[in-house]
Amino acid sequence: MTLRKTLKQIREQLSVIKPDDRITAIKFMAVEKNQETGELFYSGHMLYNIKTRESVTEIYSDNDERRAYEHKEQN
């Protein structure tokens, strides 16, 4: 099967899925700024379920490796 046919089949399968069936939740990331360095880092996240409108929030502890991922602030 050629790549073109494969892509066409995938496109056809996706076209029958309703948009509200595709996206079920949104993940919001909480970001804090290090007061000494000015760098931004993830401090937690909130998962919002679109269908049920319920949300779950998780704040990362100081020793959580997900908290250690830092970004430099972009101007």
pLDDT in tens, 14-38: 778 777 667 788 999 998 988 888 8
pLDDT for the residue 1? 61
- Residue 47: per-residue pLDDT: 94
What's the confidence (pLDDT) of residue 23? Answer: 78
Reported as a single tens digit per residue, the pLDDT across 47-63 is 999 889 899 999 999 88
3-state helix/strand/coil string of 6-60? HHHHHHHHHHCCCHHHHCCEEEEEEEEECCCCCCEEEEEEEEEECCCCCEEEEEC
pLDDT at residue 27 in the model: 92
This prediction has a pTM of 0.56
